[in-house]
Amino acid sequence: MEPLRIDVPAPSRAYTITIVDRGVDRLRAVLDAAKLPERRFLVSSPVVWRFHGAQIAKALGGAETPILIADGEKNKHLATVSRVYDALTKANADRASTLVVVGGGVIGDMAGFAAATYLRGIPLVHVPTTLLAQVDSAIGGKVGVNHPLGKNLIGAFYQPHAVVIDPLLLKTLPRREFRAGLYEVIKYGMTSSPSLFDRIGRERTAIFDRSPEALTPIIAESCRIKADIVVKDERESGLRRILNFGHTAGHALEAVTKYRRYRHGEAVAYGMLVVAALARARNALAEQDQKALAALISSLGPLPPVADVSANQIVDAMKHDKKMVAGRLHVVLPTAIGATTIVDDVTEKEMRAALKAVGFKN
Ligand SMILES: NC(=O)c1ccc[n+]([C@@H]2O[C@H](COP(=O)([O-])OP(=O)(O)OC[C@H]3O[C@@H](n4cnc5c(N)ncnc54)[C@H](O)[C@@H]3O)[C@@H](O)[C@H]2O)c1
Ligand SMILES: [Zn+2]
């Protein structure tokens, strides 16, 4: 199979995403073609390394001893990033070093931040290993960590020098993580691509079998959509906000349940249902499109329930998230499958009604 290449000519740095089965085996060739410095440091997590470390170490032959740091949202803080600085310093890594990051979004965000800040920036290559990381976090250049008082409060914009996506790495991903990533793919369908939306439904079985023939097109289309938006609005001053589709209520749901109960993608799935209910109530979205979204989401399997989470609590969390200006919320609303509009006049009352329509309690 020929590799698929997606160029990302971002203003701060242009790079290429390479998507191909066994892409890991081509790592060295990709890094050499991108003329990346030859001292190569791998950063990964013990979990990911146990599954894929041998293949990756072999592919990169001659790389330094891997730096393994714990993943999981609770480890996404500066102390963990410090372990990467420690290892790099001890090994005398200089600017002629490349950091190759192999993991999900947590490892990618943390090691990406280390690459952005160590010696004020060394070359960074992402090898994302979760579906969420392959379609979202490894592209676009946001890196960073959580602060005890809030998620992703410390970070930078730092585009990678290359991204290598190997759909076969997803074979070992737990089913729940895999599904969580698929909700983000639905998001891209909802904001930008009716054909992507339809494809998820049509090929659901092959997708769940993790067949690379089924996965490659949906990963590639998601990357194209995100890359296109990032290139036009790298620092999120306008257009990039549409990628927050479903994330207003999603983030609030994660926050009120202390990031423990839902995977990020699951919370986004609820968030998408909420904005669809809002749009429907305003007559901005056809009933059949709202139903198509709900049907596609439920076809992936049940979501953890929200019946005991109160709509008021969610609205309060949105206020803290500064999504609210003068009592009105900024929201990305769907107007059709593949089309959105940004509004800034959603009232608390409307939001509460939409949350209740989706199943949140009074
Ligand atoms: N930078 C961005 O633009 C951006 C965008 C979206 C999300 N994020 C961040 O991404 C993070 C979530 O990322 P995630 O969903 O990938 O979670 P994660 O990195 O925590 O990975 C989820 C789990 O899967 C395991 N895992 C990873 N790859 C595996 C594989 N191939 N086989 C088996 N197990 C594997 C990990 O050990 C972990 O337990 C959040 O912190 C979020 O803030 C960043
Ligand atoms: Zn997201």
What are the tens digits of pLDDT across the range 112-141?
999 999 999 999 999 999 999 999 999 999
Q: What is the pLDDT of residue 204?
A: 97
Task: Pull the structure tokens for residue 202.
Answer: 């049509």
Within 10 A of 213 (CB to CB), how many other CB atoms are there?
12
Nearest of 62, 287, 40, 255 to residue 146 by alpha carbon: 255
Euclidean distance between CA atoms 59 and 103, whole angstroms: 16
- What is the value of pTM for the model shown? 0.97
Are 17 and 30 in contact by the 8 Å Cβ rule? The answer is no
CA distances from 27 to 33, 79, 316, 330 (A): 10, 29, 46, 42
Task: Write the DSSP string, 71-136.
Answer: -SGGG-SHHHHHHHHHHHHHTT--TTEEEEEEESHHHHHHHHHHHHHGGG---EEEEE-SHHIIII
DSSP three-state, residue 341: strand
Ligand 1 centroid distance, CA of 126 (Å): 12
In terms of pLDDT, which residue wins out, 245 or 238? 245
Q: What is the pLDDT of residue 324?
A: 67
Q: Is the pLDDT of residue 321 over 80?
A: no
Share of the chain above pLDDT 70, in %: 99
User: Under 8 Å CB-to-CB from 148, ≥6 apart: which residues?
Assistant: 77
The Cα–Cα gap between 359 and 156 comes to 36
Q: What is the dihedral of CA 81, 82, 84, 90, to 10 degrees?
A: 170
pLDDT of residue 326: 74
Q: What is the CA(221)–ligand 2 centre distance, in A?
A: 16
Determine contact, residues 24/59, Cβ cutoff 8 Å: yes
> Which region among 83-97, 173-187, 234-248 has the lowest average model confidence (pLDDT)?
234-248
Q: How far from 232 is each of 136, 160, 177, CA to CA, in Å?
A: 16, 17, 30
Note the pLDDT of residue 323.
64
**Tokens describing residue 176:** 């729940």
Which residue in the block uniquely carries the two structure tokens 């001659």?
A: 62
Q: How many angstroms is it from 133 CA to the middle of ligand 1?
A: 6
Tell me: the pLDDT tens digits for 25-75?
A: 999 999 999 999 999 999 999 999 999 999 999 999 877 899 999 999 999
Nearest atom, ligand 1, residue 107 CA: 19
Ligand nearest to the CA of 175: 1
CA-nearest residue for atom 4, ligand 1, is: 137
Does 325 have pLDDT greater than 80? no
**Burial class (CB within 10 angstroms; exposed 0-12, middle 13-18, buried 19+) of 326:** exposed
CB 117 within 8 A of CB 156: yes
pLDDT band at 237 (very low <50, low <70, confident <90, very high): confident
Determine which residue's CA is closest to atom 20 belonging to ligand 1.
72
Which residues does the annotation mark as catalytic?
A: 120, 142, 184, 226, 236, 240, 244, 247, 251, 264
Closest-CA residue, ligand 1 atom 37, reads 47
Mean pLDDT across the chain:
96
Q: Which ligand is nearest to the CA of 250?
A: 2
- In this prediction, residue 322 carries a pLDDT of 63
Greatest CA separation for the chain: 61
Ligand in nearest proximity to the CA of 187? 2
Inter-residue contact 99 to 41 (CB < 8 Å): yes
Residue 192 pLDDT > 70:
yes
Closest by alpha carbon to 138, among 232, 25, 222, 34? 222
Cα-to-centroid distance, 108 and ligand 1 (Å) = 8
Say how many Å lie between the CA of residue 265 and the centre of ligand 2.
Answer: 6
Of the ranges 9-23, 91-105, 269-283, 310-324, which one carries the lowest mean pLDDT score? 310-324
Q: Answer yes or no: is pLDDT of 94 > 90.
A: yes
Report phi then psi at 26, rounded to 5. Answer: -100, 5
* Atom nearest to 143 CA in ligand 1: 1
- Residues with CB under 6 Å of ligand 1 are 45, 47-48, 51, 71-73, 76, 103-107, 109, 129-130, 132-133, 136-137, 140, 142, 152, 169, 172-173, 177, 264
Residue keyed to tokens 């991108």 = 34
User: What pLDDT is recorded for position 276?
Assistant: 98
